[in-house]
Amino acid sequence: MNYRHAYHAGNFADVLKHAVLALIIAHLKRKPQPFRVIDTHAGTGVYDLGAEEAGKTGEWRDGIGRILADTPPRDVVEILAPYLEVVRAENGTSESGEADLARYPGSPLLARRLLRRGDKLVVNEAHPEDGALLKMLFKKDPAAKVLALDGWMALKSLLPPPERRGVVLVDPPFEEAGEFHRLVEALGAAHRRFATGTVMLWYPIKDPRRVRAFHRDAAALSIPKLLVAELCVRAPLSEGALAGSGLLILNPPFTLEAALETLLPYLVRTLRQAPGAESRLEWLTGERRTSS
C-alpha cells in the first residue's frame, strides 16, 4: 500500500465528501436514537497542512483554502455550517478573525466532532503508519474504535451495526486495478447487511467511460434509492489526471438532495480550475424522497 492521503488532504474532492458526510450526520442527529459512523478506509484522521506531504502538492489551497477565503451566499453558509464549524474548530484565528488554516480534519475526526454522547465511531485503516497515527488520535476515546483490517473485509464484518442506524463511508485509495468492481460488490454487500442504512461510496473521475460503466453495474443491482453527486473542477483530459470526484449514496436522507442542488453549483463556481468544470446530481435508481 503506497497511497497516503496526506498529499491530498483538503482538496476539492475532500470538500465535497466531507460536506456531504457532515450533512448526513446532521440529519441523523434529528432523531434521539443513537447511531454509528463507519469509515472503512480512514487515513490518519487529521492532517498537518504545513507538513512536507501537503506542501508538496498544495492541493488544499484550491479546495478548503478557497472555501474559507470566500464569502458564500446565506443558503450555502447554512449547508456548509456543520462541516466548516469542525474545520474552524481545529484551527486558530488570525488577528483579522479569519481561520488560520493549519490542520485539516479527515473524515474520522470530522465525524467524531459531530457525534453526540451515545453515538459511536468505528474507523479502519490498513496502512501501518497511517493506522498507528489514527490509533493515537483516538487513544482512550470510548466512543471511537480503531481497526487495522483490509477495508473491504472491514465493511463486511462491521455490518449491520448494533444501533441499526448510521452512515458508512467507503473511500478506497484507487491504487489497484478493479476498485470500481469492488465498489459495486461493496454496495451489494452493504445493502444486504444494512438495507436501511446510508452508505457513501467515493470514486475519482478520470475516465468518464469507467465511471459510466460503474454506474451501469451499480444500477444493475436493482437497489432502490441510489443518488449520484459529482463535482468536476475541469474537463477530464486523461486517465492519469483527476478531474473530479463523485459520491454514490445509498439511502440518502430526504434533506440531502435539496441541499446538494444548492451546494454543487456553488462548488463549481468556487473550486473550478479549468474549462469544463461542472456538477451532476441525479438518481441512479429511485425517486425523490418525501419523508425520512
Nine-digit cell string for 11: 482538496
Helix (H, G, I), strand (E, B) or coil at 127: coil
* DSSP state, residue 72: -
Q: What are phi and psi of 260, to 5 degrees?
A: -70, -30
Please, are residues 243 and 232 in contact by the beta-carbon 8 Å criterion? yes
Q: How many CA atoms lie within 13 A of 182 on its CB side?
A: 19
206/232 Cα distance (integer angstroms): 10
48 is catalytic: no
Please give the full DSSP string across 13-58, using - where no structure is assigned: HHHHHHHHHHHHHHHHTTSSS--EEEESS-TTSEEETTSHHHHHH-
Q: Which residues contact 198 (CB under 8 A, 6 or more apart)?
A: 24, 28, 166, 167, 168, 249, 250, 251, 252, 253
222/211 Cα distance (integer angstroms): 18
- 10 Å CB burial of residue 255 (0-12, 13-18, 19+) is middle
Which is catalytic among the residues 62, 119, 171, 217?
171
- Give catalytic residues, as residue numbers: 171
